[in-house]
């Protein structure tokens, strides 16, 4: 960041998923050190990292980049830690972490998202009177494109993230969300974040058609026979919005790190690092006034239409998830009843069936299944059901608010004779 902060300045922000899963990620020790050295010799003002799961890796990166980025914060959460952290050239004045209430399943050990305690981290950076709100996050992964069992979880996380930004953005001169969102450009989750938090996509603004950040052909960890090799996936994003005092112009958005770590034939991560450079220019008094008048983006007809469509689709996903959860609860209760009966029969007839005594593993396994079904039916299912219901109810509040503004628009347009297309006031967003 440079120039006169009272009139204009530049901000350089980087994000990277470091792929730092202990005992799973390949070449982790070599890559973590190389990532830190690459950051240390560059001119980034703020660096957002994800999947830094091991505390020793965070400390290593911190020690190497300290002279360039002396301020840092790791967002501790869950069993393994959230995996997300922020490094800054300038002092951090506030830090806050909001953990998702829905984040996968504890029994899906190989997916492990639940153990990470994922959420969104916020660091407020103060630079010569300018306030930057930097958000970093890592949404739930998508493990099966054809049967995405975590769609409702990720969608509610996305809406929760957008709400968090709306509530905390305040009068920040620049808000930037940088992280692994695990959603692609046309995904409903990304559209909901952009529309509800009033963010701009840096890649789209820069005019790029596509910038793959995962399964990228240039990456050494991409399997050469991968079906996604041709186009890759763009799941790492930098999104931003301006504040009332300064206009924000995106001057650059591109890949950051070299394709290979010097002296090796491996990439820095299985994801690609991206960075954006923003130019902040102070607004005139009249511009500030206009910005504040237009601060509530529900007043904008085009945003209103797309936002309402996204909310309606999101509520439909929640309805489907709630129906599935009700069915699951019935099945868990049925299995609980069946295996309970089987266990009782074994205990009753065991004296007359000596061969069962040589297979004591049978009642043990049945007991474990009973415990699992009991926990899922009466504890976990209820927690997930309430989590989805909570997300849906907040979406409905936002949807009702769009209707309220829509009626105000109609009254204003009736007075001016405008014939612009409006959304139907009778569109259904029922619970079922």
Taking alpha carbons only, the member of 294, 48, 243 closest to residue 132 is 243
Whether the Cβ atoms of residue 374 and residue 343 lie closer than 8 Å to each other: no
Note the pLDDT of residue 230.
Answer: 60
The verdict on whether 271 is a catalytic residue reads yes
Note the pLDDT of residue 116.
Answer: 83
Note the pLDDT of residue 427.
Answer: 43
Global pTM reads 0.87
Single out the catalytic residue among 98, 153, 237, 271.
271
Note the pLDDT of residue 421.
Answer: 43
Tens-digit pLDDT profile for the chain (432 aa)? 555 446 778 999 999 999 999 999 999 999 999 999 999 999 999 999 999 999 999 999 999 999 999 999 999 998 888 999 999 999 999 999 999 999 888 888 778 788 888 999 999 999 878 999 999 999 998 887 778 889 999 999 999 999 999 999 988 999 999 999 999 998 999 999 999 999 999 999 998 888 899 988 889 998 876 655 567 899 999 999 998 889 999 999 999 999 999 999 999 999 999 999 999 998 877 666 666 555 554 444 447 788 899 999 999 999 999 999 999 999 999 988 988 888 787 777 665 555 455 456 777 788 888 888 888 888 889 999 999 999 999 999 999 888 776 555 555 555 554 444 444 443 444 444
What fold is seen in the domain 8-295? Deoxyribonuclease I; Chain A (3.60.10)
């Amino acid at each position: 960041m440079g120039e006169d902060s009272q009139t204009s300045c530049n901000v350089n922000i980087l994000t990277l998923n470091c792929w730092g899963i202990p005992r799973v990620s390949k070449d982790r020790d070599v890559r973590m050190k190389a990532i830190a050295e690459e950051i240390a010799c560059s001119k980034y003002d703020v660096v957002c990292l994800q999947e830094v799961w091991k505390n020793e890796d965070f400390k290593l990166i911190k020690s190497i980049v300290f002279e360039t980025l002396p301020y840092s914060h790791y967002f501790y959460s869950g069993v393994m830690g959230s995996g997300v952290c922020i490094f800054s050239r300038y002092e951090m004045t506030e830090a806050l972490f909001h953990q998702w209430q829905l984040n996968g399943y504890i029994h899906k050990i190989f997916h492990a998202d639940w153990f990470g305690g994922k959420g969104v981290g916020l660091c407020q950076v103060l630079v010569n009177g300018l306030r930057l709100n930097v958000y970093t996050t890592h949404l739930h992964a998508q493990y099966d494109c054809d049967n995405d069992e975590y769609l409702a979880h990720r969608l509610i996380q996305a809406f929760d993230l957008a709400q968090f930004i709306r509530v905390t953005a305040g009068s920040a001169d620049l808000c930037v969300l940088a992280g692994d969102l695990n959603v692609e450009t046309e995904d409903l989750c990304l559209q909901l974040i952009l529309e509800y938090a009033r963010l701009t996509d840096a890649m789209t603004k820069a005019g790029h058609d596509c910038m793959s950040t995962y399964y990228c052909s240039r990456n050494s960890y991409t399997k050469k026979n991968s079906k996604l090799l041709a186009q890759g996936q763009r799941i790492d994003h930098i999104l931003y919005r301006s504040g009332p005092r300064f206009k924000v112009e995106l001057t650059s958005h591109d890949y950051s790190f070299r394709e290979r770590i010097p002296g090796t034939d491996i990439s820095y991560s299985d994801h690609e690092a991206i960075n954006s450079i923003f130019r902040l220019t102070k607004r005139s008094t009249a511009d500030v006034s206009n910005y504040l008048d237009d601060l509530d983006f529900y007043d904008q007809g085009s945003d209103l239409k797309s936002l309402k469509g996204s909310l309606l689709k999101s509520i439909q996903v929640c309805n489907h998830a709630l129906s599935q959860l009700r069915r699951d609860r019935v099945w868990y209760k049925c299995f609980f009843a069946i295996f309970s009966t089987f266990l009782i029969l074994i205990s009753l007839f065991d004296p007359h069936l000596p061969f069962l005594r040589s297979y004591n593993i049978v009642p043990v396994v049945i007991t474990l299944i009973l415990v699992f079904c009991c926990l899922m039916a009466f504890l976990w299912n209820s927690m997930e059901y309430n989590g989805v219901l909570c997300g849906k109810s907040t979406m409905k509040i936002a949807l009702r608010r769009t209707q309220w503004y829509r009626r105000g628009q109609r009254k204003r347009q009736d007075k001016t004779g405008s014939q612009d297309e409006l959304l139907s006031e009778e569109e259904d967003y029922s619970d079922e």
